[in-house]
Amino acid sequence: MKFAAVLGSPIKHSLSPTIHGAAYRKLGFDAVYEACEVDSQGLQAFLSSKLAQSDWIGFSLTMPLKEKICEIAQDLGISLDDQSIRISSANTLYRDGDSWKGTSTDVLGFSFLLQNLDIREATIIGAGGTARAAIEALGEDCAIKIVRRDDKRDDAIRRAFPNREISFSPWVDFDNAWSRTLVVVAVPIEATRDLVKTFRPPEILIDALYSPWLPPVSELQSQSGMKLFSGIDLLCAQALGQIRLMTSESFDENEIFSYLKSVALEVVTNR
């Protein structure tokens, strides 16, 4: 039996065990995927105890572990790809033979959702690992405005994307966040209380949140009739890369995405 898990704190709300388990059954892959409560301080010790065990095939990481793993990967013998190092965010660890590697399938998830869309301007609300994955997924000719609660990550973002057109705005400017074609919400649920006060539906919204369902900003976008990619859409889209890397199975991405989304929606609508 093989094992995989999503790590984070808090983690009890995570739908990852539901969708990964559904994917394994669909693909006929014999493995168990679980949720483990792990915070930043405990991540290194937890991984140290698991990486040497041959029955573990992969780990999904939630915030703030996406950034924390970039600080400790070398000490754990994990090889991060260049993209994850540059954006200081990795949400996926996977076994490759006798080695462990890390990457950001968040980037793949955003790219999957935005395929065939020509986005020339976007606002990203937030500046953490998920926000940086969104920047990476957007085309180089896309002008990006970042609205964030503090400026601690500004320099890191500038270094990660030295040739990109990126501007920064303080949190008090969130009322002007909605004017661009695409808006990505990548902040914790408590921060969205401010956002709903001035919400105006953009042409396209990606909301990384899915708990509680529907999150407030997603609900307002849905009511407007404008395009919404929900947190479930993003969760299922980024899971495609994780499933492929952890299982080495081949599958049709669109088919599995639709299947995982239907499974996840059934769970959240019945909670």
Catalytic site residues? 66
- Give CA 44 to chain center in angstroms: 21
Cβ-proximal residues to 114 (8 Å cutoff; 6+ apart), any chain: 137, 138, 182
**Angle, CA of 215, 184 and 121, to the nearest 5°:** 150
What's 191's DSSP letter? G
Helices 16-27 & 253-269 angle (0-180, nearest 10): 140
Cis amide leading into 216 (omega within 30): no
Gap between the Cα atoms of 177 and 228, Å rounded:
16
Beta strand 99-103 with 92-96 is: antiparallel
Q: What are phi and psi of 72, to 5 degrees?
A: -115, -5
Residue 186 token pair:
């990548």
Gap between the Cα atoms of 27 and 48, Å rounded:
30
- Short-list 239, 209, 213, 66, CA closest to 125: 209
- Short-list 252, 235, 162, CA closest to 13: 235
- Short-list 63, 69, 68, 65, CA closest to 191: 63
Three-state DSSP class for residue 32: strand
Q: What are phi and psi of 249, to 5 degrees?
A: -85, 150
